[in-house]
Chain A
Amino acid sequence: MRSLRTTRVIRWMSLLAVFALVAAACGGTTGDTTTTAAEETTTTEAPQETTTTPPPVEGDCPDAFCVKYNIHPDAAWADGTPVTAADFAFTYETIMNDQLDITSREGYNKMTSYEEVDDKTFLAVFGELYAPWQTLFSAIMPKHELEGKPFNSYWDDLITLGSGPFVMEEWVKDERIVLQRNENYWASEVPHTGNPLGDVQTLNIVFLEDSQTQVQALRGQEIDMFYPQPQVSLVEEVDAIEGVEWEAGLGPVWEHVDFNHSDPLLSQKFIRQAIATGIDRDAIVEAVVRPIAADAQPLGNTVWLNTSANYEDHFSQYAYDPVAAEAYLTDNGCAKGSDGIYECDGQRLSFNWATTAGNEGRELQFALAQANLAEIGIEVNAAFGPAAEVFADEFIFGDYTVWQMFNFAWVGSPDPSGGNTIYYCEGGAPSGFGDINVTRYCNDEMEQLVRATDTEVDPAARAALYNQADAIYLEDVATIPLYQKPTFFAWNAAISGPKDNATQVGPFWNVGEWTGKELITFGADQQPESMNTFEPDGNLFAAGIVATAVLEGAYTITPDFRYVEQLITSAEPIVPAGG
């Protein structure tokens, strides 16, 4: 007779093993893997947003500000039904329905009413001037298709109707998303580029996460294109594949190192100045970004990125200068300890540096900064954690006992208004500061300038306000801006038309004009959870590119960061006569 006690022990051990496996995997979770790569045939895009925002005119407006959308007379849904003002109104009503899980209502919540002037004219009425009005109505919903349907679930698996150059045919879960050419497409040319329509009939979007698998699949012609997080080795490998073209862009995502201003030491400006001046940001860009985007420069502005026409470098005063960095410390009475690390008021200048674990670019830039700072007598220690941990409320909104310096990236957009709450002192953040103000830095003058941008509808004046605010922010070394992150797009050379769009619109921005292959297989990194991009779980890349091909908005964004008309012929911002 043999006892089964041993088996029970094994069972418990195996359960523990399962949890250990999970813990290990959690520890290795991805942040957004970064950059480093080789250059070459790269055509680094340098987006220069030209100001296309029309200035407001005086006219008939029942409140403080209006925008009149003139819908394209031919614009129609894939079923032939015309796109009308009722669809714009339905889109607004849906987004503002607080029973629905809409990710962002920003801007729409400034509207006080609307008017369907006629079938093809929609008037959005605002209670105050709203400068970033071009960011609104970026995707219009078909009223006749969605009205009366449960929006929280109806588009989860299939965008049943759109107005774009492709229609969504099916989503075979775990395998593919299939888009077919919209045979009833309303435009005779791609509306936002003016180019003729292409001949691609089918887009087959498959899911493969591992970057090596993606490269192998591209080499073996199992996929025709992909849009990975660029890394040195990956770019080099892609470059070596015959019959493949690639392009790198610089997008609206910017990397930075935040200071936690609740820290007794880091709240002192001279210490922040010493750290900023002590880090060789150009060396970081050289190691992490330039191998992909040869023209990349250290970032000197947290609002307008290097490639913006409005860019002004507000951080040049803190260019790498180790002698000046030490002078900030010695001039303020700090003295080096026996271990070579400065002490100020008896406190050692030693800080933890948080970032996402497993991100080779961030680990490299930490190593470079650590070495730089060690030379000037400041110690930084790695405090890396999985993305799920460091972006949890308790961590990122924590005070200096949780983190002191934090390297991560903000995802911006061509219009910077989305990031305004980074600069605000009060908001919905668990820390009590602005919604996403994780630094706890406050400056009334700067905040007023940023808040004024919401209601400054003159583009030049608005850009100037942002620059004034940013100059204060960076002169005060509220954060250390590092660089604009590159994007990377590679495709089978048999296809003509692909061009990287580093904005949130993504690589399908001009898919309607692609030619050369009837069937294109696109390798996306991850299967989305939902196709409904208005909802929080529909924000994955694959859902985004589908929405770009299937849905259209009043405006879309071009690779050079311009808002261009898509479903409309024009839009007119209006202020009341004499207002």
Chain B
Amino acid sequence: MGTFIARRLLYSIPVLLAATILVFFGMTAVTDPISQIRLQPNVSQQTIQNIIDRKHLDEPVVVQYGFWLRDVFFNQFGNTALGDQPIWPDLSRAIGNTMQLVFISELIAVVLAVVLGVFSAKKQYSFFDYATTTISFFGFSVPIFWFALILQALATWFFLETGFRLFYTFGQSSFAPENAFIDRIQHMVLPIVTLSYVSIATYSRYQRASMLEVLHSDYVRTARAKGVKERVVTMKHALRNALIPVVTIAALSFGAVLGGAVITETIFAWPGMGKFFIDALIRGEVYTLMAWLMVTAVAVILANLVADIVYGWLDPRIRYD
């Protein structure tokens, strides 16, 4: 297992290097780090020159890439262009904020989706199955921004009707709250529900399809023929194998969502990776955007690695060689 992980991490190095090339040359081809300041009336040419010197913008692009690469690996992504501010403190905070949302929402989504998927498969064509299918399709069809806005409207309506603040519609915390923990929960519920709902809709469909396939496979029939209890057949023999597709999709989603649930974070003003990305985009902070891209690429690679490890745990036939 250790060798496998080490080998996979080594394989990731060329992938990451390729990502740096894509990110840097892609971004520099379409944006200009100092365009935001140059168009301000009467901007100081000396200040522009200071930025050009600091970021080596008058050097060939390949040389700029070299300096940027050095910053990425040895200087925590370096500093912003306009303000010469270190990028990593803000980025790491955004990662932490997103992790809070993503971990909880993914956990809820996976657990609920597996339960719903398994029961739907076991009770195929039952009322429960149809109801779950309908709710799932609703989850697929509803635009996430609309669902988020509806949740906000409901929370506001509840407050205006009752005078009691059950959930907040934006941000992470209130000013001087009486109980910081409860206050944080009140702020997290709506974005978590938004993120979870769409994931549950997706994962539960995968889980149902996968479970149905496994339940009709020969080895499950054999287990039943041997007199193994149905509960054991379902939970031990069938579910374990049926989890593999869900693990794949959940791992990929996790990596992508870690890169930022852009819409959810923007609507709920949650200062995570998605909002970090949008803010950097609006400010035209090219180096911040590139740092975001690199972190997202790493997250996707790591999520895949975790998925591979979980495959082996779920299905011993998968060998790490």
Q: Which residues of A come within 8 Å of B, CB atoms?
A: 1-2, 4, 7-8, 10-12, 14-15, 17-19, 21-22, 25-26, 29-30, 98-99, 101-106, 152-153, 156, 173-176, 178, 202, 204, 206-210, 212-213, 216-217, 219-222, 387-389, 391-394, 396, 410-412, 418-419, 421-422, 428, 435-436, 519, 521, 526-527, 529-530, 532, 535-540
Contacts and interface: CB of A to CB of B under 8 A. Distances in A.
From DSSP, what is the main secondary structure of chain A's interface residues?
A: mixed
Contacts of B11: 8
5 closest A-B pairs by CB:
A537-B83, A174-B271, A106-B42, A220-B156, A208-B269
B256 interface: yes
B308 interface: yes
Interface residues of B, number: 84
Contact of B83 (A156, A207, A410): A156
A222 B304 contact: no
A511 B317 CA distance: 70
Nearest to B303: A14
Contacts of B22: 19
B248 A104 contact: no
B85 A217 contact: no
A396 B98 CA distance: 36
Interface string B248-287: 1000100110010010001111010001011101111100
B42 A15 contact: no
B209 interface: no
A213 B317 CA distance: 50
B141 interface: no
Interface in B146-181: 149, 152-153, 155-156, 159-160, 168-173, 175
B44 interface: yes
Contacts of B256: 14, 17-18, 21
B108 interface: no
B47 A175 contact: no
B44 A212 contact: no
Contacts of B43: 103-104, 435, 536
B35 A391 contact: yes
Nearest to A178: B175
Interface stretch (B118-126, B197-205, B222-230, B293-301): B293-301
Given A101-B83, A392-B32, A212 B175 contact: no
19 contacts: A1-B319, A14-B252, A15-B297, A15-B301, A17-B256, A18-B259, A21-B259, A25-B278, A101-B47, A102-B44, A175-B173, A176-B175, A204-B175, A212-B149, A216-B170, A219-B156, A396-B35, A435-B43, A527-B271
B30 A389 contact: yes
Nearest to A22: B293
Given A1-B319, A19-B26, A206-B170, 6 more contacts: A1-B318, A2-B311, A101-B51, A178-B175, A207-B271, A428-B48
B64 interface: no
Given A101-B83, A529-B83, A536-B82, A14 B171 contact: no
Interface of B: 11, 15, 19, 22-23, 26, 30-32, 34-48, 50-51, 80, 82-85, 90, 93-94, 97, 149, 152-153, 155-156, 159-160, 168-173, 175, 248, 252, 255-256, 259, 262, 266-269, 271, 275, 277-279, 281-285, 289, 293, 296-297, 300-301, 303-304, 307-308, 311, 315, 317-319
Contacts of A526: 279, 282-283
Nearest to B33: A392
A209 B278 contact: yes
A529 to B, nearest CB: 5
